[in-house]
Every structure is written in structure tokens, then in C-alpha cells.
Amino acid sequence: MSSQLVWELVKQHNCFIRKAAKGIVFSAEPSNLYNKHSYKYSGLANVKSVGVAADGEAVKLTVGRVKTAQQPKKATHSVTMKKDARAVLKAVGKQVASFRPDLKAAALARAAAVHKSIRVKKAKKQA
């Protein structure tokens, strides 16, 4: 089934839609980088989806596979990166640029935010 047809079927009715005040519509899909309810960022409709999430103390990059799109168990491929922030951003940018260049900026922003959220400040000794 084509991605555009899937989007037409699920854009009005799916469990990930979150409606806010003033008519703003968000999405809670797992592979939605900006959490916007749109075809471009949809992780449900697009076969070539990109997701960035925290996995413990690492950043997890998930991409959709075109070849096995009809097999849900094999439809995605994940890579976990436990490096410093610059190395993670460089790796995410390189991967996403070769897969979906239009989502590179969104993936980098999401990876930076995720990496910042998993950093832990060291406790200071109290005198």
C-alpha cells in the first residue's frame, strides 16, 4: 500500500492524535521527529520514517526499511549510540542525510534535545 494512501486513511482517525487549544493538532507517533500531525513527519504513513529517542543513557536512531515495510517485526532498524554529543550528532546527521535529507535538521534537533535530556549533573560535595 502506498504511503499517501495510508496517510489518507489514518490522518483523521488514529490513536496518536493530540488536539490542543486554538485548533493545533499534534501527534504522539513513535517516529515523528517534530510531533506535528503532518504527512512529512508521520511515522505511521511514511515507509522511510526516522525516529530519535532515548534508550537508557544512549541515543537510539530508528529508520524504516522499505524492503520489509509489509512485515511489522522487520519494518524498522535501530542503532544505539552511546557517545559524546558531537559524535552522536555527526552520526545521526550522516545517517539521516543519506536516508531522508529533508528530515536532517529535524533529526539533529531531536538528537540534541534527547542527548541533553539524558545528561546527568554530578553532585557537589556539601561541606
pLDDT number for residue 121: 67
Domains of the chain plus CATH, in order, are 3-118 (3.30.390.110)
pLDDT of residue 18: 92
pLDDT one digit per residue (tens) for the chain, 127 residues: 788 998 999 999 899 999 988 888 999 998 999 999 999 999 888 889 999 999 988 999 999 988 888 888 888 889 999 888 899 999 999 999 999 999 999 999 999 999 999 887 666 777 6
Model pLDDT, residue 54:
93
- Residue 63's SS3 state is strand
Please provide the DSSP assignment of 80-101 as one string: EE-S-HHHHHHHHHHHHHHH-G
Burial of 88 (0-12, 13-18, 19+ CB in 10 A): buried
CA 115 to chain CA centroid, Å, is 13
Bridge partner residues of 51 (DSSP): 62
Number of Cβ atoms within 10 Å of the Cβ of 60: 17
pLDDT of residue 124: 76
| d(C-alpha 14, C-alpha 27), whole Å | 9
